[in-house]
């Protein structure tokens, strides 16, 4: 096995006294794990930062063996980790992707979307510049892994107008008329998810509530405690930033 590709670095875990196991997302070959010799060294720690763009070279004698990985830094987002809110967003987006994608399966749309979210955070550290993109990325990830939401027509009436809620059980939109009497059992559907455009803070929080519910239920069940803690930190910092 020999692969050389640009990749978004997603996670780093110490292994042994000096090494690190890295998981990185490539555009054509999906998520690729690898062992970086000396990955905990002073020279490599700034390179092995989740959200960085790297050029990786993976080598293994067999497909089953964990590949050895050498890395070159293409673009660093490490300076953003000095700011609490952008840092929380980068940590969440990369941790979510690392925890949910299977190895070696190509997800080119997710690669492009994740790169776009990370670039948006970098370009505009204030949350208004990237929070909508983050919600849309979470929806795309759910869809790509087989848990997509149906936000195009009402589960109760079949109509596509005046959609205002989402069923937490089915993941299908519900119109105001269809939700009558059951509003408190449903998740509020912000208009930016069905009509596009910008969003107010309340809408962004509602969008995160929707995606958070389905991510926790469908993708982050047994192994998601640490990842969900990263999301809780992000949502808490978002709420404090706009309070």
pLDDT in tens, 148-200: 999 999 999 998 999 999 999 999 999 999 999 999 999 999 999 998 887 88
Q: Where are the domains of the chain?
A: 1-76, 79-151+189-243
pLDDT in tens, 66-108: 999 999 999 999 999 998 899 999 999 999 999 999 999 999 9
**Residue 197 phi, psi dihedral angles, 5° rounding:** 85, -175
Q: Where are the alpha helices (DSSP H) in the chain?
A: 84-100, 108-123, 131-144, 176-179, 192-195, 201-214, 225-242
Q: Could you please state the CATH topology (level 3) that the domain comprising 1-76 is classified under.
A: OB fold (Dihydrolipoamide Acetyltransferase, E2P) (2.40.50)
Structure tokens at 72: 């070159």
pLDDT in tens, 198-213: 788 889 999 999 999 9
3-state SS class at 31: strand
Q: What is the pLDDT of residue 243?
A: 61
Work out the percent of the chain whose per-residue pLDDT is above 90: 74
Tell me which residue has tokens 């998810």. 193
3-state SS class at 159: coil
Q: What is the pLDDT of residue 16?
A: 80
pLDDT exceeds cutoff 90 at 224: no
Q: What is the pTM of this model?
A: 0.93
pLDDT exceeds cutoff 90 at 17: no
């Amino acid at each position: 096995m020999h692969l050389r590709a640009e990749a978004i670095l997603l996670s780093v875990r110490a292994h042994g006294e000096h090494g690190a196991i890295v998981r990185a997302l490539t555009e054509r070959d999906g998520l690729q794990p690898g062992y970086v010799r000396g990955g905990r060294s002073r020279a490599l720690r700034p390179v092995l930062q989740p959200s960085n763009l790297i050029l990786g070279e993976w080598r293994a004698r067999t497909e089953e063996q964990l590949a050895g990985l050498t890395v070159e830094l293409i673009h660093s987002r490490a300076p953003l980790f000095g700011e609490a809110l952008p840092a929380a967003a980068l940590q969440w987006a990369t941790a979510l992707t690392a925890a949910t994608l299977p190895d070696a399966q190509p997800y080119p749309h997710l690669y492009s979307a994740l790169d776009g979210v990370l670039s948006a955070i970098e370009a505009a550290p204030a949350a208004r510049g990237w929070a909508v993109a983050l919600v849309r990325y979470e929806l795309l990830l759910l869809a790509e892994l087989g848990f997509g939401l149906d936000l195009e027509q009402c589960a109760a009436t079949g109509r596509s107008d005046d959609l205002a809620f989402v069923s937490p059980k089915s993941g299908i939109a519900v119109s105001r008329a269809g939700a009558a009497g059951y509003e408190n059992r449903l998740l509020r559907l912000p208009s930016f998810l069905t009509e596009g455009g910008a969003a107010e803070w309340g809408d962004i929080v509602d969008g995160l509530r929707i995606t958070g519910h389905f991510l926790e239920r469908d993708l982050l069940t047994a192994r998601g405690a640490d990842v969900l803690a990263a999301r809780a930190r992000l949502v808490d910092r978002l709420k404090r930033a706009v309070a």
